[in-house]
């Protein structure tokens, strides 16, 4: 038998049920987050991505799984994130200067816009790249290296491991009027083998990966790519200007990106978490170990910095005579 009270109660229960369900679904995060790394496992990029992903898992209390999407100098991973669902469950811990800022100058056709196709969360860390040679070579300074390469002409080679290493190696050539030949490599371990045989003479390497090889006595650092010093790097590493490489002053930094259209509450939550991670003592200790420095930021600062770097790379790639593929 239906009464007025039972009918009203039934209607109220029905009307509130969808709202309760909707609010439950809106809780973020309610499932695992994918953290995309656009470079190979074990690379310098992978080391940093896994560290920050693990720290995000700690501060958020949610599972974060790293996935390596490798290819096209980082563009495959970048495109994957740009095309992902804008729900905060696919994040991109990205070497932004190396990958986002440079992309349009290396590829004629991109499936993403490095600035407009992403929501920019915050910056994380910064470091220069390092000009390195094989440890057994006689070169102790950048000028000694340049003099040795000039004698060999085009018979000397450099290792192009990434967009950034290629550009910096070419800028080094331009600074000293060299004819060194570009030799492409997928990763540094394979390039190191060729450096030992003398087939290639130098490259620029990210500090995170270089640190272990320097400690093991495999490579020697001749200069950094920036005029700014990073306290965690040895004072014996000359800056680019101190080393006489006057056309090079590039600092590389990391950022967090998600797909365009991700809701603002999720963006704010991710920013809060990552800024907390950057401020941890554990993070500072880890970054110092790999020649990096904490680099906290915010979405507005990040977007402005990235826009500026895109413009800067027009100049860098022009000096390096890069032709888009």
Q: Worst-scoring range by mean pLDDT, 19-33, 181-195, 234-248, 299-313? A: 19-33
163 inside domain: yes
Beta bridge partners of 265: none
Does residue 274 share a domain with residue 136?
no
7 inside domain: no
What's the burial of 6, exposed, middle or buried (CB within 10 Å: 0-12/13-18/19+)?
Answer: exposed
Q: What is the mean pLDDT of residues 293-310?
A: 97
The CATH number linked to 168 is 3.40.190.10
Q: What is the mean pLDDT of residues 131-151?
A: 97
Does residue 77 share a domain with residue 151?
no
Q: What is the reported pLDDT for 181? A: 96
Residue 249 has pLDDT above 70, yes or no: yes
Domain residues for 147? 129-224
Whole-angstrom distance, CA of residue 269 vs CA of residue 62: 13
Residue 19 has pLDDT above 60, yes or no: no
Does residue 115 share a domain with residue 261?
yes
Average pLDDT, the chain: 91
Q: Who has greater pLDDT, 72 or 279?
A: 279
Task: Determine how β-strand 33-37 pairs with β-strand 64-68.
Answer: parallel
- CB 277 within 8 Å of CB 127: no
Q: Worst-scoring range by mean pLDDT, 2-16, 46-60, 126-140? A: 2-16
The whole model's pTM is what? Answer: 0.84
Q: What is the reported pLDDT for 43? A: 84
Domain count across the chain: 2
Express each pLDDT in 53-99 by its tens digit: 999 999 999 999 999 999 888 999 999 999 999 999 999 999 999 89
Q: What is the reported pLDDT for 189? A: 86
Q: What is the reported pLDDT for 23? A: 44
243 inside domain: no
Whole-angstrom distance, CA of residue 155 vs CA of residue 201: 10
Residue 274: pLDDT band (50, 70, 90) is very high
Residue 2 has pLDDT above 60, yes or no: no
The CATH number linked to 299 is 3.40.190.150
């Amino acid at each position: 038998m239906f009464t007025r009270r039972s009918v009203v109660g039934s209607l109220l229960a029905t009307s509130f049920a969808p709202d309760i369900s909707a609010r439950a679904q809106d809780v973020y995060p309610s499932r695992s987050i994918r953290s995309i790394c656009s470079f190979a496992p074990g690379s310098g990029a992978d080391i940093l991505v896994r560290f920050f992903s693990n720290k995000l898992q700690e501060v958020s209390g949610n599972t974060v799984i790293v996935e390596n999407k490798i290819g096209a100098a980082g563009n495959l991973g970048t495109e994957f994130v740009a095309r992902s669902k804008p729900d905060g469950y696919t994040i991109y811990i990205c070497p932004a200067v190396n990958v986002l800022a440079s992309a349009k100058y290396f590829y004629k056709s991109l499936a993403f816009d490095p600035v407009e196709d992403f929501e920019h969360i915050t910056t994380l860390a910064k470091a220069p790249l390092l000009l390195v040679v094989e440890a057994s070579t006689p070169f102790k300074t950048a000028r000694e290296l340049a003099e040795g390469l000039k004698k060999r002409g085009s018979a000397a080679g450099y290792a192009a491991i990434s967009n950034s290493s290629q550009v910096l190696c070419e800028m080094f050539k331009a600074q000293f009027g060299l004819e060194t030949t570009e030799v492409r490599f997928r990763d540094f371990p394979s390039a190191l083998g060729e450096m030992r045989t003398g087939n290639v003479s130098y490259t620029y390497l990210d500090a995170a990966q270089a640190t272990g090889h320097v400690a093991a006595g495999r490579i020697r650092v001749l200069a950094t790519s920036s005029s700014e010093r990073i306290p965690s790097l040895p004072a014996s590493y000359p800056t680019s200007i101190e080393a006489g490489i006057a056309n090079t002053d590039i600092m590389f930094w990391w950022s967090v990106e998600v797909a365009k259209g991700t809701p603002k509450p999720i963006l704010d939550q991710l920013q809060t978490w990552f800024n907390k991670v950057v401020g941890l003592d554990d993070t500072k200790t880890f970054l110092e170990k790999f020649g990096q420095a904490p680099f906290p930021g915010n979405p507005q600062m990040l977007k402005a910095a990235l826009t500026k770097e895109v413009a800067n790379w027009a100049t860098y790639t022009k000096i390096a005579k890069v032709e888009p593929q």
